[in-house]
Amino acid sequence: MVKWVRRREWPWWQAGILLGLLNLFAFYTANYYLSTSTTFSRAAGMILRLFAPEHVSANAYYQAHKPIVDWQFMLVIGLFLGALLASKLSGQFQLSFVPDLFAARFGQGTARRSGIGLLGGVLLGFGARMADGCTSGHTLSGAAQLALSGWVATAGFFIGGIAVALLVYGRRSY
Amino acid sequence: MGPLEIAGTARLALGLVTGIAFGFILQKGQALKFHKIIDALRLRDFTIWKLMFTAIAVGMIGIYVMTALGLAKLHIKPTILSANILGGLIFGAGFALLGFCPGTCVGAAGEGRLDGLYSGVAGLLVGAGLYSEVYPYLLPGFLKIGVLGKITLPQFLGIGVWPTVLLVALALGTAIWFLDRIDRGTPAKAESSTLAPSPIQG
């Protein structure tokens, strides 16, 4: 067991089964589901509130998604800690900025990675909120509940993702 | 009967513990690695596809069994075709440019990938904040296009719940089997390991 926990990686089917079971745990204990992206709206509201409190309280989106710390907010913090713990246990934790594959395509420059990454992050945040969920809420949880919204949004995620990834990186090996 | 629905401070602690397990599993499943995600989107390495399909299949069967036993309640997000499709496509573009989705970008930061933190989390906050500002203008028009409500696949297709569960499970199982065959047959794994011999495996 200890050896398994410290392994560098688990096969996809073990990780997949555990992820499915974890979702069932969330459904049973919290009456909620694995999901992350609303937390970024709430956090954005918390930050904006420091500068423009009236603006935030008047905004229709923040009225529907209040800038508070809830179960999902803690889940996202836990996600960070869990990944930190897992990578530390297997000795994989290492500070890095430019992923090797990105560097092979665009060079080692951190500015380029920051810029393209930031653009990606903005689109990701905007798209997730417009679609009303991300690969956790819509794909892991929505599709599993057979929600039509989950399957439609998931198709969008991967059609968009595959198109842009092929456009940017092609299919060749680097 | 019914789900426990733990409340109060214990609920926040529960969220944290669930999140730690979430991050732990994603890290061990290699789902936080930039090259694994990009190669999944480039259709060169199907590890993440198989992981995801397995998680959906286990979740689906479990959720519907638990719902039938009164141990869980469904939480169906409403279908708004305009927003689900356009938002999904925008998300997909961001997914490929950043190389992470919202959850994996936070997890990647935990693995020491500072680009996940500085580009990813920062961009997500800006993007999500931006949507809150645009939302009031989308509400009267765009978000009224293709509203189908909280509808499930069986309701939409007009077939029973259990036949749908069975069909989707079979489809996912077949897809996993097929993708695994491709993964075993192609030298994608060997290539990505020569690409990244360092422990970073960027």
The DSSP code sequence of A15-72 is HHHHHHHHHHHHHHHHS-----THHHHHHHHHHHHHH-HHHHHH-HHHHHS-S---HH
Phi–psi pair at B106, nearest 5 degrees: -65, -45
Per-residue model confidence as pLDDT tens digits over B56-96: 999 999 999 999 999 999 999 999 999 999 999 999 999 99
Tokens of B21: 């397990």
pLDDT bucket at B187, cuts 50 / 70 / 90: low
Q: Mind telling me how many Å the CA of A109 is from chain B's nearest CA?
A: 12
Per-residue model confidence as pLDDT tens digits over A46-67: 999 999 999 999 999 999 999 9
pLDDT at A165: 98
A106 burial level (CB within 10 Å; 0-12, 13-18, 19+): middle
> Which residues of A are less than 8 Å from B52 in CB distance?
16, 135, 139-140
Residue entry with tokens 């279908």? B79
Q: Which of A82, A94, A140 sits opposite B112 (nearest CB)?
A: A94
pLDDT bucket at B194, cuts 50 / 70 / 90: very low
Q: Is the pLDDT of residue B143 over 70?
A: yes
pLDDT at B128: 98
Whole-number Å distance between alpha carbons of A157 and B4: 32
pLDDT at A174: 84
* Mean pLDDT (whole number) for B146-175: 97
Look over chain A and give the mean of its residue pLDDT values, rounded to a whole number.
97
Angle, nearest 10°, between helix axes B81-98 and B122-138?
A: 160
* Mean pLDDT (whole number) for A105-126: 96
Give ipTM to 2 decimals: 0.97
Contact B150, B78 (CB under 8 A): yes
pLDDT at B196: 45
A49 touches chain B (CB under 8 A): no
Q: Mind telling me how many Å the CA of A90 is from chain B's nearest CA?
A: 9
> Which residues of A are less than 8 Å from B48 in CB distance?
12
- The DSSP code sequence of B65-101 is HHHHTTS----PPPEEHHHHHHHHHHHHHHHHHHSS-
Per-residue model confidence as pLDDT tens digits over A138-174: 999 999 999 999 999 999 999 999 999 999 999 998 8
pLDDT at B198: 46
A20-24, A47-51, B186-190: which range is least confident on average? B186-190
Tokens of A31: 């009456």
Q: Which of A77, A134, A174 sits opposite B16 (nearest CB)?
A: A77
* Mean pLDDT (whole number) for B126-150: 97
pTM, two decimals, is: 0.94
Q: Which of A16, A32, A153 sits opposite B87 (nearest CB)?
A: A153
Element (H, E) at A75: helix A71-89
Per-residue model confidence as pLDDT tens digits over B11-44: 999 999 999 999 999 999 999 999 999 999 999 9
Is there a contact between B126 and A121 if contact means CB atoms under 8 Å apart? yes
Contact B85, A156 (CB under 8 A): yes
Q: Is the pLDDT of residue B201 over 50?
A: no
